[in-house]
Structure 1
Amino acid sequence: MGDRSRIGLIVNPSAGRDIRRLTGGATVVDNYAKRRVAECVLQGLGVVDEPPVAMLMPDTAGIAASAAEEVPDASTELLDLPVEGTAADTRRAAEHFREVADAIVVLGGDGTSRDTALECGDVPLLSVSTGTNNVVPTAVDGTVAGAAAALVATGAVDAEAVTTHHGMVEARTASGESITGLASVELSNRSFIGTRATLDPADLAGGIVSRANPADIGLSSVAGAFEALAPDEPDAVGLRLVDAEAAPRTAKAIVAPRMVAELGIEACRRLSPGEVMTADVAEGVLGADGERELEIVDETVEFRTISDGPRLVSFEAVFEEAARSGLLEGG
């Protein structure tokens, strides 16, 4: 295929199907819907005269392979990678795409985008919402995502002009364990991981966010009640939460789909790069982007910002640039 441009496509069959779809009001995104979105992505590549080759991450549900069959005009390549049905699939594919792709399209939620961001390096990332926690991914039509990816991957638009670097955040224990989040890292006062998804607002004890806006979901929404933090700013916001009745101030926030709660705020402060917020934890769980992951006992936890986040593509900026350059005009 010579010097033809390439995009990577990651579809997470598990995204958007956790317990919050049953206990909350979030929309269920089944594998059929994801396959349709993936098909739209492949169709959207045709916006340029020589569409890029789409390299597809294999998945346990066969979503990518089925989408390729439904769009035979698209040039596709199913990667020969192990399939475990875990986050390792996403990270393995992202690591491969870092070396060979000109852009990456991710269909999933914050967790899938985070797993991709940890391995994709500086490759432009287009994150499409098909998950549960959707602070970072955009709710955009798959055809739009595919077209934007094609315009970026082929160089039809200047990637520098349509991308921004999104911050990331980290929690590290005194014993050396760590967890990284794209939008947030949360500290829960639960003693076990359980269903992984954060369900009860009373469980939240604090954490750190890379972006703060009351229109977001989760800890970013809580922080947004007091601080405005854009996703491309290098700072973070750290929070300590307590019982609302004993708190010096409170905030109403959207902590999960169909879940608005009033939380007690003991502290909320902006953290500059290199600045650390610490918490002594007798028993609890650390989570990233709404999913509990790491059980801790008698630990001191340090929360900090990370500067080398993913290079996210702005869909609006791509098409504004394309229109300004006359790329969408007919003959």
Structure 2
Amino acid sequence: MGETVGLIVNPAAGRDIRRLTGGASVVDNYAKRRVAECVLEGLTSVPDPPTALVMPDTARIAASAAEEVPDAETALLDLAIEGSAADTRRAAARFREEADAIVVLGGDGTSRDTALECGEVPLVSVSTGTNNVVPTAVDGTVAGAAAALVATGAVEEQDVTYRHGMVEAHTASGETVTGLASVELSNRSFIGTRATLDPADLAGGIVSRANPADIGLSSVAGAIASLAPDDSGAIGLRLVDPDLAPRTGRAIVAPGVVAGVGIEDQRHLAEGESMTVDVEEGVVGADGERELELVDELVEFRSAERGPRLVSVATLFEAAAGTGVFED
């Protein structure tokens, strides 16, 4: 097949309860299909375009996009789908063996599911989700062109990608929750609608990046410290009622929600270092979505051993500008 770019589109991204209760933007399937079409057009920007290997989805978003872009060479990944996050993970595992680059359309959750299985294949993560800390708000055509430049070797991969950290929570009973930007501990007793909405629910957790411009726990950590996505280690936090806290800050805790938070403890955790919390009752989540209910559990938070390799789009095009790849 030659050089190949895998394309993952999550039809569920950008459609959770935060678009109703907060200020999260709505990205419907039509908009995602248009972005996917632009990605495929972007692949044709290099002299010998790579083939797009498209993950099937329940809404036929990517497959429909392929039909609308006849100039792009496309193939449908042979994969049985069930309409869950497992589809993304199984597609990413296939792309680990069959693709030279991957374009992901979704939010933090979709990027995380891809990162867990894609190995060393470079990712171009495009924001079409609700929680968009990691995915970039980049035009689909630009994203497709970036993936094509990486896949075809027009730029040196090591010069235009960086290793994004990941973080984990491990329970004494053997459960693990992995996050790309953050793993959160809430004092809620049930998962419910999954989305973390109320700042009073946050009890702490761990982040792989900290910046006030991020969303969720990464924004909370960024109120008093900074951690770049490719910095080593992580930041662990314990949060309390602002009236009882030694330090307070304001943060973007969810799309459309800015609130004051009380920071009881915030510390940098070096590689191999962890923070443990005794939880009487609560829920651990990842990247803004609650996942695991806990009762009388000891939880250890730490950085993961290895995160995904993300493409820096701006750096990539600077590197490509002098190569002549765009000259006719």
Matched, 1:197 2:195: yes
Aligned to 2:132: 134
Matched, 1:320 2:318: yes
After superposition, where does 1:109-120 map in structure 2 within 5 Å? 109-120=107-118
Separation (CA, whole Å) in 2 of partners of 1:80 and 1:101:
14
Alignment counterpart, residue 234 of structure 2, candidates 233, 236, 251: 236
Aligned to 1:56: 54
- Cα deviation, 1:157-209, whole Å, max 9, x if unaligned, reads 11110000001000000111010000000000000000000010100000000
Aligned to 1:85: 83
Aligned to 1:12: 10
**Which residue identity does 1:257 align to in structure 2?**
P
Separation (CA, whole Å) in 2 of partners of 1:116 and 1:238:
24
Separation (CA, whole Å) in 2 of partners of 1:70 and 1:46:
14
Matched, 1:277 2:275: yes
Separation (CA, whole Å) in 2 of partners of 1:326 and 1:154:
14
Aligned to 2:123: 125
Deviation at 1:319, TM superposition (A): 0.5
- Cα deviation, 1:226-279, whole Å, max 9, x if unaligned, reads 111010011100000000111111110001111000001000000001101010
Identity %: 77
TM-score normalised by L of structure 1: 0.98
**Which residue identity does 2:132 align to in structure 1?**
N
Aligned to 1:33: 31
Deviation at 1:39, TM superposition (A): 0.2
User: What's the Cα RMSD here?
Assistant: 0.7
**Which residue identity does 1:154 align to in structure 2?**
T
Matched, 1:98 2:90: no
Alignment counterpart, residue 152 of structure 1, candidates 147, 150, 153: 150
After superposition, where does 1:289-304 map in structure 2 within 5 Å? 289-304=287-302
Contact kept? 1:105, 1:126, Cα under 8 Å: yes
Separation (CA, whole Å) in 2 of partners of 1:160 and 1:174:
38
Q: Secondary structure at the match of 1:214?
A: coil
TM-score normalised by L of structure 2: 0.99
**Which residue identity does 1:131 align to in structure 2?**
G
Separation (CA, whole Å) in 2 of partners of 1:302 and 1:23:
31
Aligned to 1:260: 258
Contact kept? 1:125, 1:311, Cα under 8 Å: yes
Matched, 1:216 2:214: yes
Separation (CA, whole Å) in 1 of partners of 2:121 and 2:250:
37
Separation (CA, whole Å) in 1 of partners of 2:80 and 2:284:
28
Contact kept? 1:170, 1:181, Cα under 8 Å: yes
Contact kept? 1:234, 1:307, Cα under 8 Å: no
Contact kept? 2:212, 2:220, Cα under 8 Å: yes
Separation (CA, whole Å) in 2 of partners of 1:292 and 1:33:
27
Q: Secondary structure at the match of 2:44?
A: helix
- 4+ residue stretches of structure 1 with deviation over 3 A? none
Contact kept? 2:44, 2:71, Cα under 8 Å: no
Separation (CA, whole Å) in 2 of partners of 1:307 and 1:252:
31
Q: Secondary structure at the match of 1:316?
A: helix
Matched, 1:185 2:183: yes
Matched, 1:22 2:5: no
Deviation at 1:94, TM superposition (A): 0.1
Q: Secondary structure at the match of 1:111?
A: helix
Q: Secondary structure at the match of 1:286?
A: strand
Deviation at 1:325, TM superposition (A): 2.1
| Structure 2 gap segments, 5+ residues each | none
**Which residue identity does 1:302 align to in structure 2?**
E
Q: Secondary structure at the match of 1:97?
A: helix
Separation (CA, whole Å) in 1 of partners of 2:57 and 2:319:
34
Contact kept? 2:47, 2:325, Cα under 8 Å: no
Deviation at 1:79, TM superposition (A): 1.0
- Cα deviation, 1:57-95, whole Å, max 9, x if unaligned, reads 100001011001101111111111111110000000000
